[in-house]
Structure 1
Amino acid sequence: MSGPQVVAGATMMCSFGLAPSTLAVLPVKGVLASAPSANIADMAAIATIPPFGACTSLANPTVASATSAALGVLTPMPCVPVPAGTWLPGNTKVMIKGPPATDVSCKLMCSWGGVIQVLNPGQFKVMDV
């Protein structure tokens, strides 16, 4: 595993977002660490990946339109993430109801060009001292 496993409550950030967001993991997999554990398929917009405040990507049609209306002045608009696939690379040593687990090294691409990454996995490995 590349790092701590990601669980519900993990903090994420998009490279084009203006605010962090919190991962929601539905407790349907039956796998709990300190909270429901995420796998690479936990990437549904709004349901598991909430908005990141406002979006600044010109690839986002609402941002492009607002920027055009403002005569070229970048105009951020509300962020509605559009995941382009699953979290990558995933931890193939730990499977959660089929798909690999999501760990802190995983990234998720947004269709608007952003890269979503985990800032805080929601749990940390405890080491004996």
Structure 2
Amino acid sequence: MGGPNVVGTATLTCIWGAAPSTMTVLPTARVMIEGQPAATIMDNLPLVNIPPFGMCSSMSNPTVAAATAAALGVLTPMPCVPMLPAPWAPGSSTTMIGGKPALTNPATCNCAWGGVITVTMPGAVKTITN
């Protein structure tokens, strides 16, 4: 079953982040859904498509681990800088945008620091893709 299309105004959260962020989709494929650029599974570039989530609390993040060690074991969150080694999954099984599967909700993107990024509001509310 399909889900709502993810577009350039989607709200994202990370399980280790302190705040939500808003996805940015560059209009390179020139496909618009409900007035916003449509996202694909390859819209996973840190700081370009996926902004930071405020402060990171993952002990897998080297900066958090170092700050926590310096604070004698007291968890010390540090600024989030997403590290995304793989694209979003799953994508649409039938809809392609610029030769790449469309990004639909639910989909997740994993951060190298152990975070799981999810779409909490896809941006498109009327358009559903398989």
TM-score band, normalised by the shorter chain? over 0.9
In structure 1, distance between residues paired with 2:9 and 2:31: 15
Query: TM-score, structure 2 length as denominator?
Result: 0.94
Show the 5 A alignment for 1:22-41. Answer: 22-34=22-34, 35-41=36-42
What is the aligned partner in structure 2 of residue 92 from structure 1?
93
Q: Partner amino acid for 1:39?
A: T
> 1:78-112 CA deviation, whole Å, 9 max, x = no partner?
00001120000101211011110111111000000
How far is 1:2 from its partner? Answer: 2.6
Gaps of 5+ in 1: none
SS of the counterpart of 2:66?
Answer: helix
In structure 1, distance between residues paired with 2:115 and 2:63: 15
How far is 1:3 from its partner? Answer: 1.2
What is the aligned partner in structure 1 of residue 14 from structure 2?
14
SS of the counterpart of 1:8?
Answer: strand
Coordinate RMSD, CA, aligned: 1.0
How far is 1:31 from its partner? Answer: 0.5
Number of equivalent positions: 126
Show the 5 A alignment for 1:1-129. Answer: 2-34=2-34, 35-125=36-126
Query: TM-score, structure 1 length as denominator?
Result: 0.95
Gaps of 5+ in 2: none
In structure 2, distance between residues paired with 1:95 and 1:25: 15
> 1:25-79 CA deviation, whole Å, 9 max, x = no partner?
0011110002000000000000110000000000000000000000000000000
Stretches of 4+ aligned residues off by more than 4 angstroms: none
Q: Partner amino acid for 1:101?
A: A
In structure 2, distance between residues paired with 1:68 and 1:31: 47
How far is 1:123 from its partner? Answer: 1.4
